[in-house]
Amino acid sequence: MKFLIDDVTVYFPYDYIYPEQYEYMVELKRALDARGHCLLEMPTGTGKTVALLSLISSYALARPSPPLKLLYCTRTVHEMEKTLAELRLLHSHLPPTHRSLALGLSSRKNLCVNPIALSSASRDSVDSACRRLTASWVRAAAAEQPPGAVPTCPFFEAYDRAASSGPDAVLLPPGVYTLGDLRALGREKGWCPYFLARQMIRYANVVVYSYQYLLDPKVAGIISREMQRECVVVFDEAHNIDNVCIEALSVSVRRQTLDGATRNLHRMAQEIDRFKATDASRLRAEYNRLVEGLAQRGNLALTDAWLANPALPDDILKEAVPGNIRRAEHFLSVLRRLVQYLKGRLQTENVETERPVDFVASVSSQAGIDQKMLRFCYDRLHSLMLTLEITDTDEFLHIQTICDFATLVGTYMQGFSIIIEPFDERMPHIPDPVLQLSCHDASLAIKPVFDRFQSVIITSGTLSPIDLYPRLLNFNPVISRSFTMSLTRDCICPMVLTRGSDQLPVSTKFDMRSDPGVVRNYGRLLLEMVAAVPDGIVCFFVSYSYMDGIVNSWNEMGILQDVMQHKLVFIETQDVVETTLALDNYRRACDCGRGAVFFSVARGKVAEGIDFDRHYGRLVIMFGVPFQYTLSRILIARLEYLRNTFQIKEGDFLTFDALRQAAQCVGRVIRSKADYGMMIFADKRYSRHDKRSKLPGWILSHLRDAHLNLSTDMALHIAREFLRRMAQPYDKAGTGGRKTLLSQEDLEKMGEGVMDMF
């Protein structure tokens, strides 16, 4: 369908539209008009993604100059695939003259088609196998020697030849390209899909990629460097965006890292000796370049690009590299001293927390490395690696981590802390010392994005309380709104279960979680539900260790066997391959009518991005409140920082964080208004107002007072009733005063109504 919002013709790929989608688009358009940032919370299951894509694409068509580009950030590759599929649907409804180019970008591992590079199983080797075949000096060597003597990548060579005659030669025809499409195209034309995609993102109208490609300065520095200001950046499912920002600027150093770094340094010393003997001029050239103040060697070949500086672009020093690390051997000895110092620090018996200032002072006094040298470590290492022509980069990741750490600790004095822990507190018997540089300020990493791009849209199903995000991320949205959901029928049914079938309270509080009574009550709940609910059921637990424990107990109690009488059981594990296969099987079990239960973990990979819509999830049970491990040092440090800087209370933040995870977990159950699902919050703490009120409005508005304090048998009764009600045919368009489905005429009428009002 096609309709007008103010002066923009919006192309929407369906025949009907939800009223909230329409409102969402109206708000979005205002934000785009104002060229400002916005924050929009809209319930899951109301077609957020398609509304976003449709409005922004239509807006770009209506205002062709300056050309507006959409950078759509997803958290995971599978979400990227989903987005591209929606985009493809939209494209088939755009007018044919206005076709644009949209593509997804991912790593070499997901795009490479070279059989040699692919055959290497682990991911680092795809990366370095590629470099081994495509590094500029390798190609130069191949050009000099007879063909076949030095192996190169035929796909890259073909692409390079095609691209050398100008970018138009490799320009893709308009359309939507998923990763699979890019691979297929690469195979067909014999071009390297990865570098093709890297090249094409400059010309594409829509680019879908991962958060880190914008937020992590190391990655953004090479991939998103050339994006113009006229971009609309969308962070979808952005409720965890603060965590992503913090991760982007955090580094941890373990004993293995330091050992590996020592080996790396040894090897580099050997390389330097070799070069000194054979090609001393090269080292001298590097020295001269550094004297001139060029840390980077001008324009690098595309294939030589390495991870960029971990510090944010504004904070990188624009000076010459200090004299005492210009010579390769001197630099190596500085690194050796640093590694030695860190090794010493790791041998501590106690937990130590330090501010970066103190740490830098201590490095300076004990290892003789001043702050400026620390800041240049990363660039200097990069330069040295290029000079030494090192291709097997994954061998050198350890020293890279050390230099990353050094640069960050030398650059930032505020919003960071250094924490040294001799062991994980949850497993005190296993010594595993870690030195962590952790960032507490989420606004640091996202600041360049807000500054650089015209509009940044942060959206998710769970952004409650919506006033917290602008504080955490330190920006001023022009529009910040939370939408509710207009339902044709009560197709979601949230419940709070506080008691088991024996009327004793259930909870995952620390003092109760291992109580066999609670474990049994949780098991009985699941057992009753698998017998009553058709198709798929998803269960979320607060952590992996808790899930392992409770599943083992259920197995011993015989509850698991009883559950298996009704449905097949699949479990998320920490092994992603296994989890993916389990999910695939789970879907097949639901498809074939066998029915299945999926055990998953809040904050886990599954909770982040897998939809359990329609028959894949008729019921979600959230066992417990997914609080973070509150004794974690990093969390304590972060809470302290939040309290001092943003005046956010610890308790409030912890509850907010737990409840956004819980809401995220249960929100996966519904995808459209025709869909239906139940949500059970199984913990007595959910019945308290201070906890519950942090849930997003669209869940709260369906949480009736009668459903706030249920026991297992009552919940079962409600579930049966609900399922029976949902099985009845209903009128999709909504009856009575409120329409829940708008057709083109409805929209036109609304438009006229608005005209009349003005």
Partner 1 sequence: MAVINMAAKYKTTVKEPGTPGVLRMSEDKFIFVPNDPRSAMKLNVDFRNIKGHKFSKDGSKQALLNLTQDSEKGGGYIFEFDNFSDRNVCRDFVGKVLGKFQAMMSSKQNEQLVPEKPAATVHGEQLSTTEMELRMKLLREDSELQKLHKQFVIGGVLTESEFWATRKSLLDDDAQRTAKQRAGFKSAMLADVRPSTDGRTNKVTFSLTPEIIHQIFAEKPAVHRAFLNFVPSKMTEKDFWTKYCRAEYLHRTKNSVAAAAEAAEDEELAVFLKHDEILANEARHKIRRVDPTLDMEADIGDDYIHLPDHGILRDGSKETADAENEFARRTLSQDLNRHAAVVLEGRALDVELGDTRTAAEALARSKQELSTEISDEKTNQERMEKVSRMTEIEDLQAPCSLPFAPLCIKDPREYFDSQQANAFKALGDTGGGITPVDCSLKTEEAYIYLLEQISEVKVRGLNKPVVQPEAALKVLNGLNPYLSSTKYHLGKNPQECVLDRLPNRTKDELMHHWTSIQELLRHFWSSYPVTTAYLYNKVLRLKDAMAQIYHKLQEIKESVQSDFRHQVSLLVQPMLQALDAAFAHYDTEQQKRSVKSGNKPNGFVQ
Of 132-171, binders to partner 1 (CB under 8 A) are none
Least spacing, CB of residue 488 vs partner 1, in Å? 8
Binding positions for partner 1, 687-726, rule CB under 8 A: none
Among the candidate windows 100-108, 151-159, 341-349, 505-513, which touches partner 1 by CB under 8 A?
100-108
Contacts with partner 1, 659-688, as mask; x by CB under 8 A: ------------xxxx--------------
Choose between 321 and 335: whose C-beta lies nearer to partner 1: 335
Give how many residues touch partner 1 by CB under 8 A. Answer: 118
Segment 7 to 36, residues that bind partner 1, using CB under 8 A: 14-18
Residues in 415-474 that interact with partner 1 by CB under 8 A? 421, 424, 426-427, 430, 432, 434, 436, 438
* 77 or 714: CB nearest partner 1: 77
286 makes contact with partner 1 (CB under 8 A)? no
Give residue 606's identity as a one-letter amino acid code.
V
Q: Does 127 bind partner 1 (CB under 8 A)?
A: yes
Least distance (Å) from partner 1 to the CB of residue 563?
A: 9
Out of 23, 33, 124, 352, the only residue in the binding site for partner 1 (CB under 8 A) is: 124
Beta carbon of residue 382, minimum distance to partner 1 (angstroms, whole number): 14
Q: How far is CA 105 from CA 74, 233, 238, 451, 549, in A?
A: 11, 15, 19, 23, 39
Least distance from C-beta 624 to partner 1, angstroms? 14
Residue 253 near residue 477, CB atoms below 8 Å: no
Q: What is the smallest separation between the CB atom of 235 and partner 1, expressed in angstroms?
A: 16
Rounded Cα gap, residues 375 and 322, in angstroms:
10
Q: Strand, coil or helix: what is 234?
A: strand
On whether the CB atoms of residues 265 and 399 are closer than 8 A, the answer is yes
Q: Output the CA angle 274-278-282, nearest 5 degrees.
A: 90
What are residue 661's phi and psi, to 5 degrees? -65, -45
Nearer to partner 1, 432 or 690 (CB): 432
Q: What are phi and psi for residue 125, nearest 5 degrees? A: -75, -30
Q: Identify which of 189, 130, 132 has the alpha carbon closest to the alpha carbon of residue 162.
A: 189
**With binding defined as CB under 8 A, does residue 106 bind partner 1?**
yes
Q: Of 308 and 328, which CB lies nearer to partner 1 in the complex structure?
A: 308
Of 484, 585, 687, 701, the one binding partner 1 by CB under 8 A: 585
Neighbour count for residue 311 (Cβ, 10 Å) = 23
553 in contact with partner 1 (CB under 8 A): no
Please tell me whether residue 301 adopts helix, strand or coil conformation: coil
Question: Are the CB atoms for 54 and 10 separated by under 8 Å?
Answer: yes
Query: Could you tell me the smallest distance in angstroms from the CB atom of residue 78 to partner 1?
Result: 5
By CB under 8 A, what part of segment 53-82 binds partner 1? 76-79, 81-82
Q: Which is nearer to partner 1, 28 or 596 (CB)?
A: 596
Interacting residue with partner 1 among 37, 69, 108, 345 (CB under 8 A) = 108
Q: What letter represents residue 667's amino acid?
A: G
* Shortest Å, Cβ 716 to partner 1: 22
d(CA 264, CA 339): 11
Strands (E) in 27-86, as ranges, are 38-41, 69-74
Among the listed ranges 136-144, 253-261, 287-295, 492-500, the one in contact with partner 1 (CB under 8 A) is 253-261
Q: List residues bridging with 458 in a β-sheet.
A: 39, 235
User: Closest separation between CB of residue 426 and partner 1, Å?
Assistant: 7
Minimum CB distance to partner 1 smaller for 183 or for 336: 183
Under rule CB under 8 A, residue 407 binds partner 1: no
Cβ atoms of 481 and 470 closer than 8 Å: no
In the complex with partner 1, the residue whose CB is nearer, 463 or 583, is 583
Q: Is position 302 an interface residue for partner 1 (rule: CB under 8 A)?
A: no
Please answer whether residues 504 and 522 qualify as being in contact, where contact means their C-beta atoms are separated by less than 8 angstroms: no
Nearer to partner 1, 253 or 369 (CB): 253
> Is the Cα dihedral 359, 365, 367, 368 positive or negative?
positive
| Residue 246 binds to partner 1 (criterion: CB under 8 A) | yes
Determine if 265 is a binding residue for partner 1 (CB under 8 A): no
Q: State CA 433 to chain mean position distance.
A: 27
Angle at 170 (CA atoms; ends 169, 176), nearest 5 degrees: 135
Helix (H, G, I), strand (E, B) or coil at 145: coil
- Dihedral (Cα; 609, 613, 619, 621), 10-degree rounding: 10
Query: Residues 120, 136, 252, 333: which binds partner 1 (CB under 8 A)?
Result: 252
Taking residue 735's Cβ as centre, other Cβ atoms within 10 Å add up to: 11
Which CB, 333 or 580, lies closer to partner 1? 580
What is the distance between the alpha carbons of residues 646 and 644, in angstroms, rounded to a whole number? Answer: 6
Question: Any contact of residue 47 with partner 1 (CB under 8 A)?
Answer: yes
350 belongs to the binding site for partner 1 (CB under 8 A): no
Mark out the alpha helices in 592-632 (DSSP H runs).
Answer: 605-609
The nearest distance, CB 3 to partner 1, in angstroms, is 14
Asked if residue 391 binds partner 1 (CB under 8 A), the reply is no
Binding of residue 330 to partner 1 (CB under 8 A): no
Q: Strands 492-499 and 710-711: what pairing?
A: parallel
Q: Which stretch binds partner 1 (CB under 8 A): 357-365, 540-548, 676-684, 696-704?
A: 540-548
Using CB under 8 A, which residues numbered 591 to 630 contact partner 1? 592, 594, 596, 599, 603, 605-606, 609-610, 628-630
650 binds partner 1 (CB under 8 A): no
CA distance 116 to 154: 11
Of 11 and 275, which has the nearer Cβ to partner 1?
A: 11
Residue 568 makes contact with partner 1 by CB under 8 A? yes
**Minimum Å distance from CB 337 to partner 1?**
20
Q: With contact defined as beta carbons under 8 Å apart, do 226 and 358 qualify?
A: no
Q: Is 397 in the site for partner 1 (CB under 8 A)?
A: yes
User: What's the first-to-final CA gap in the chain, in angstroms?
Assistant: 26
Exposed, middle or buried by CB within 10 Å (0-12, 13-18, 19+), for 461?
Answer: buried
**CA nearest neighbour of 529 among 673, 677, 667, 684:** 677
**Residue 212 binds partner 1, judged by CB under 8 A:** yes
Question: In the chain, helix, strand, coil percent, each to 5?
Answer: 55, 15, 30
Q: Which is nearer to partner 1, 503 or 630 (CB)?
A: 630
**Closest distance between partner 1 and the C-beta of residue 504, in Å?**
26
> Can residue 123 be called a binding residue for partner 1 (CB under 8 A)?
yes
Interface residue with partner 1, options 565, 593, 756, 758 (CB under 8 A): 565
Q: Which segment (229-237, 288-296, 459-467, 539-547) binds partner 1 by CB under 8 A? A: 539-547
- CA nearest 159: which of 132, 133, 195? 195
Helix (H) or strand (E) holding 568: strand 568-571
Q: Which residue has the tokens 């992603």?
A: 576
Beta bridge partners of 568: 596
- Segment near partner 1 (CB under 8 A); pick from 105-113, 381-389, 688-696, 747-755: 105-113
Least CB distance to partner 1 at residue 499 (A): 28
* Candidates 146-154, 332-340, 398-406, 686-694; binding stretch for partner 1 (CB under 8 A): 398-406
The residue among 366 and 545 lying less far from partner 1, judged by its C-beta, is: 545
Strand 175-177 and strand 101-104: pairing?
A: parallel
For residues 122 and 85, is the Cβ–Cβ distance under 8 A?
Answer: no
- Judged by CB under 8 A, the residue of 120, 250, 474, 701 near partner 1 is 250
Strand order in the sheet with 536-541: 568-571, 596-601, 536-541, 619-623, 677-682, 492-499, 710-711
